[in-house]
Every structure is written in C-alpha cells, then in structure tokens.
Structure 1
Amino acid sequence: MDHEGCGDVAREAAAHVLERDRAAAVAAFRRRLTALPELTDVAPATARLAGAAEQTITTAVRLLREPSAPSGPEKVPEFTLDALDPDQAARAVGALFESVLAAVVTAVDGRPDAPAVTAAAAGALHRAITGRLVTSGRARLDELLADVRDTHRAERRVAGRELHDRLGHGLSAAYRSLEAFEGAQERAGATPDVRVRRAREAMRDALMFVRTMAGELALIEPPESLEPALRAAAATFGGGDAVEVRVAVHGDEAWAPAALRDQVFLMLREAMHNAFAHAAASELTVRVDIMPRRLWAMVRDDGTGFDVDAARTGTGLWSMTDRAEALGGRLRITSRSGYGTRVDLAVPLPARTGDRAAR
C-alpha cells in the first residue's frame, strides 16, 4: 500500500474512533471542566461548552473524511462568548483537546498504525477548534463594533439635539430680538446703532454655526444621495426666500464610495454655509457631476466676494482644503469683491473591478 493509501486508512480509522467514542470524550471533557479551578465560576456554561465540544468533534470527523471541507460549522455555540474570558477559553480548549486525544489514544492502543491514527485525529481536531475559534472571534468582534457604533450614534444624536434645542433656541431668540430692535429704531426715524447691527450679525453667524454643528452631529451615516442631503443643508441654513438655491447632481452616485460622498458633502456644505453666512448672496448654485473615474463639484454665489488669500487661514477654508487633499483631489476658490465666489472641487474616484477588467 502506498503512502497516500496509508494516510487514507489512518484518517478513516481516526474518524471512526471519534464518531464511535464521541459521547465518552464529551463526558470526559465535562469532568475536566468541573475539575479546573479556573472554570469553577462558569459552571452554568458547562452544558453549552459540552454542546460546542460535541459539534467540534463532528466537524473533525467531517474534516477527516473530506480534507478539503471548510473547518467552520454553520452554527457555532462558541467557546469564547459571554461566559469565558480569554484565559478561561484557552483552558477550556486545552481540556477539550486533551480529553478527545486521550480517548483516541486509548481506543487505538496496540494497533500498529496507532501513531498515524492519533496524528490524523489530532490534526483534524486542531483544524476544527481553530476554525471554531476564528468564527467565534469574528462574530464577537462584529458584535462589539456594532455596540460601539450604536453607542456613538446615540451620543451624537443627544449632543446634536441638545445643541440645537437649547443653545440654538437661545441664539435664535437673541437674534430675533436684535432684529426687532433695529426695525423699531428705523420705524422711529432713528439711525440704527452700528453696534446693534454688528451684534446681530455676530449672533447670526453663531446661530448658523450651531445649526451646522447640530446637523453634522446628526449626520451619523454617509448620505444615501447627495442632492437631497445638499437641499436639506440649504434649508437648515435658513436662507428662506432671500436666497434662491439651485442644486443639481448628475451621474451615477454608485461610482463614488459612500465614505467619499460623505467627505464631498461636508466640503460642499461648508462652502454653502460660507455663502449664507458671509456673502449676502441672492443666488446660490450647487452642481455635482459624477463620472466613472472623477467627481467634480461647484458652489457659486453672487454675493459680495472676499480676499481669498487673506481668508485661507480660516478654519472653514483650511478644513475644506485638507479634506480635498486627503482624497487626492484639489479645491480651488476664486472670488473678487462685488463679483461673488466660486468653489471648484475635483476628486479622483477609485477604479471599480469592472473598469480594471475592461482595460
């Protein structure tokens, strides 16, 4: 008989022993668990661990008869979840391995091929346990990440709501009061106090900043579609009928990954905020063109304009430029006093699998 034939015989013998003596091996495993002082505080988990051990042995038998089969079972009552810390899990896994191998060694004692059968059983058992632990580790990691995301979302919602409802409401009331005071001065024929006007403008800027921050805290997922997200941002800034806003998005948004769309939205929203807050514009145009390998966007207003070089040190422009460069893109701002402002953004899009195959 050739070497490969000997291996097949040893694997089948190991599978037969594991299948026949599975109940005895699981019983021995349970006794080992109760005898380990490290596991005395998880006694209620013994039945679940015994069930996991039985399934692990079943997987090992399948691997012996189908060496190319995947090592992870479809449904896994894992060793490492809930009841056990990592050290206890390691102890439990060691106890399982020792219990099953002891049963195999006893069963094949005296056979001429005992070493080969024992080695085959040990290899299959190792694969089964490793596959089980990897599967459980991934599932547990997914659960933990989901918990972190849920907590993060809840905290952002609370912070955004409190910022909008408490601070935003107070700033809005103060702004309206200053606005009403200025109106009363004008109706009385008095010259409006320049200090009141400046205070009102500062209050307006602070209110818009609070609304922007509240909106950003509420934005816990990348926008599903840029056009409605940009329109909602414009409405949040409160331009009302004083500013005519035109928003258009062309192209398939699926060409741009969700995370990249999120960054583009934040940059365009900042440009829109600047137009509402500082430009005294009557018209605002936002356009986005999405192509298979490039995204181009523009925000243009007909407002007062400003000195771009002098304003580049501001946080808003710096943030927009930094985001664009992080995406490998380019942000260009052109403006002239009395002629409005235009912001152009160009961002390369990652090649898709179909694009690579077609090249």
Structure 2
Amino acid sequence: MTKISASNRNYLIKTLQDLLAIPSPTGMTDDIVGYVCGELTELGIPFELTRRGAIRADLKGARSSPDRAIVSHLDTLGAMVKGYYDNGRLQVVPIGSWSARFAEGARVSVYADDRQFRGSILPLKASGHTYNDEIDTQPIAWTNLELRLDEKISSEAEARAAGLNVGDIIAIDPSPEFTEKGFICSRHLDDKAGVAAVLAAASTIVENRIQLPIDCHLLFTISEEVGVGASHVLHGDVAELVSIDNGTIAPQQYTSEYGVTVAMQDSSGPFDRQLTQSLIQLCEQNEITYSRDVFRFYRSDAAAAVEAGNDIRTALLCFALDSSHGYERTHIDSLTALANLLVQYVTSKPLFQRDEEALGSVGDLPITSKAEPVSD
C-alpha cells in the first residue's frame, strides 16, 4: 500500500494553511482557483477551466474510458451587503446556508468595487451595558445583525460616499489555529480541508509515479455552497464520481473523528451501493480507519451532478468536522486517512467494465435475479 508520506502530510497542512488564507465565498473564487491551478502546474497535472472558473484536472491512466472523478469545492460560506441602516452600519444576508448565530462577532472584509473595508458583524443589541438582558433575548436571525465598519461613517450617505454598495461581498475571517496535537480549528474547513486532502493524494501519486488503471479527473467546483456544485464540470464518459466533503461530529452521528467516513446516504438519497461497498473494502484491505454514516440535512457536489442529468455512480467520502458551518474543527489524522483512501481508490480497477458504455448489456454487473426481460 502506498501511503501519504511525512512530506506529503506536511504538504497537506501547508496547502490547507494557504487555502484558508485566500478568501473565497461563493461568487468570489478567482483567487483560490488561481492558487489551485498553480499547485496543479507544480505537480505537472494538466487541467482546464470551465467558463465560470471550475477546474477539471486530469490524472492520466492506462485507459481513458470508463473513467472516474473526484470532486471537492473551493467556495465557502460568506455574506453580502443587503442595505444600510440610518447610522451607516450595513444590513447583511448570508451567502450559502449558515446560522446568524455563528456570524455574530465575526471579523470580516468587505469587497467593494475598488477597495476593501474591515469590520465586524454584530447583533443589533450588542452591549449589555445598554440593553441589559435584551442582548440574550433578541432572536437569532440575519435581520438582527449589522456590519460595523472600521471607518468614520455615521450615516447611509457617508457609507455610500465611501464606496459601499448593496451587493458587495463579505468574506468571513477564518481565524485558523493548527495545534501541536493535530487539531485544526478554523472557519471554512468545509471544503478547503477536503481540497488539501485531494491535492495531497495527487502529490503522492505523482511523487511515486504510480500508474493508474484508468483516467481520474480531479474536479474543483466553485458554487457548491449554493447548491450548484458539480452540475456543470463533468466529462461525458465519467462512470464513477466520488465527492469529498465533511462528516459531522454530533450525537447520533457516526462520523470517524480521526479516520475517513463513508457516507451511505445524504438528504438526496442513497449513494451507489456497489461503489460505496468498494470504498469500504479498500479501507478494510489497507487498514484505513473508517466509519459509515447517514446525513439527513446535508447534500454534496454529487447530488448536483446527478440532478443535472448525469448517469453516474456516486459516493461521498468525508473528513471529520465538528461544528460544521460554524466554528469548525477537524484533525490531521482524519485528513490523512481520507488522502490515503483516495490514493487507493484511484489506483484500483474500475468497478465494472460494462460502464464504458452509457447503455449496454448486463455485462459484469452483480445481478443475481433469474428474471428474463419481458418481450412483446
């Protein structure tokens, strides 16, 4: 078994640090796309960009079809200027789905047309010295938040004159911390930690000059947090798609906090049974720590790909994430386990040879029914 080496593990950490330092809320992803393109160039992996800026990179195999793909997303949660309050502070709405609870107190950058502003997102009643117990009883809602700018602004007119406009994108500071015990605490680990694991797996394959049995496309999408995801970046001959995203740490969830998690179903329905079982077998054969989980309120790039009409087998592999879409935490062991499984996956044989054709006979599918096709 080829495993992630110490140098590749360090590469994973350094790449994640770099990714977290680049603001990339949905709608503002050009800089992070440029960074990943640079990493792919350094690794010698060819790639193309879609019109909107999603990345489609190619790890070449002995055969070009049926091929497979691994998808992760570069966009993160964020916010946008909705309007103005009379005192010059700004109304905000979320980009992506996340609670106003986790926006309170965030330090942010506002990207206006020709400059950036710094500020903080606060509840409308932020001072106990003024509002007493009302600071604890006001509802948690985006309509109860305001963006306080670090500028001498005290009216809507002054905010407009400074160049602040409705629709300006707000990037939330990640505030990352990498601890000596391997924990990584930061906003936006979803899905930058997944991207770092994918790149670490790719680096391992390139470094060890591993021959892949079939082509594998590395897809990096830019609008997963708003539900678009991998709907527009697939090759037509992709038969297997493995999505990389977070698994949640919570009571009645079974995500492996220090290993990889194989999702059996999310809110869009079950994943392909054969592909999922093959990933579990790879974990067991290669002694990769793993668990299985089901997510009721969660969907990934894979769902967008299927809903767009792609006839593909899909699976979802997860790194551990506590407090997803909030103050997130993962562990380097979970990211390493994910990267190790990805190396094993891309070096494994295609699931079924009959998948080379969009339509075909039973072929090598494990169909056990003796029923004959109905004829007229």
TM bracket (short chain): under 0.3
| Richer in helix (by share) | 1
| Richer in strand (by share) | 2
TM-score, L = length of structure 2: 0.22
User: More relative contact order in 1 or in 2 (CA 8 Å, sep 6+)?
Assistant: 2
